[in-house]
Structure 1
Amino acid sequence: MATTTRIPITVNGTGHGFELDGDTRLLDVLRDELKLKGTRFGCGENQCGACLVLVNGFAVASCDTPLWVLAGKQVTTVEGLGSRAAPHRLQRAFIAEQAGQCGYCSSGMLIAAAALLERCPHPTDAQIREALDRNLCRCGSHNRIVRAVLRAASSS
């Protein structure tokens, strides 16, 4: 039988304490407990990037991250990057470059790009491609996504 423990984490600037089995995946907490649906379930095996979130500024796959490792950490989902009224510069750039076709990969791409821009505010094309390499886009929008990240970098 799984034991529950109170696990405190901050999601998008709001503190939460979850009384859940510590092995519960972050993805399930975000989607089921907090109703944050922007983070997608893709492969469930940390292979596609659809479920990426920022944990203390680093892109992390939420599909295989147990809740217990997040105690006391800051989690940012795509909903926490910006709002409809004040979108993040990456969100504005994705719209301007029409970087999402079906949009399924967009949240993971945005998170990976945000982590990159935090570490490297003016990345090269090659650095962007390397940072987004783990993110799959079945629609083939990679070139538009790279252009969007370059646009966002130039707007800072």
Structure 2
Amino acid sequence: MQKTVNLSPCRWQLSIMLMIAVFLLGMAGTMLMSMQHGAGVTDAKYYENGLNYDRTKSGARNPGLRWSMSASLAGRDLQVRVHDEKGAPITGGALQFRSEAAGNPAVLSLTEAAPGVFVSPWPATGKAELRGLLVFTKGEASASRKVVFFN
């Protein structure tokens, strides 16, 4: 009977060592690249940029970022007032209420009844609560606000 002698190391040990080496080289390469080429998320002024977005070049294009909307139910009517940052009513433009109802999403257009005051009849949904998004647009500017109404 002949005895077989295996002089080379086991192949599975070499493949495991090779995978570990490739992993370590890949991690080292990734770390070097991230240290040399940072991203906007790792910017030291990341949060400050978000807080002052309306003062940046891209945020200054939309004056609607500083507008405010106040919504209320006046009898059977939905009434929304739109004001600029100084409290003056914003005339013109279009205001929509976009319902977030799961089974029946709807868009309700409000008409301007007075300067900066938009009115529409309360939508008959049969629910006591109505959630949605108010979207006001005037030219290139837009403002939005999430609202919840209880009837």
Mark yes or no: TM-score above 0.5.
Answer: no
Q: TM-score with structure 2 length normalisation?
A: 0.25
Q: Which has the larger radius of gyration?
A: 2
Give the TM-score taking structure 1 as reference length.
Answer: 0.24
Structure with bigger strand share is 2
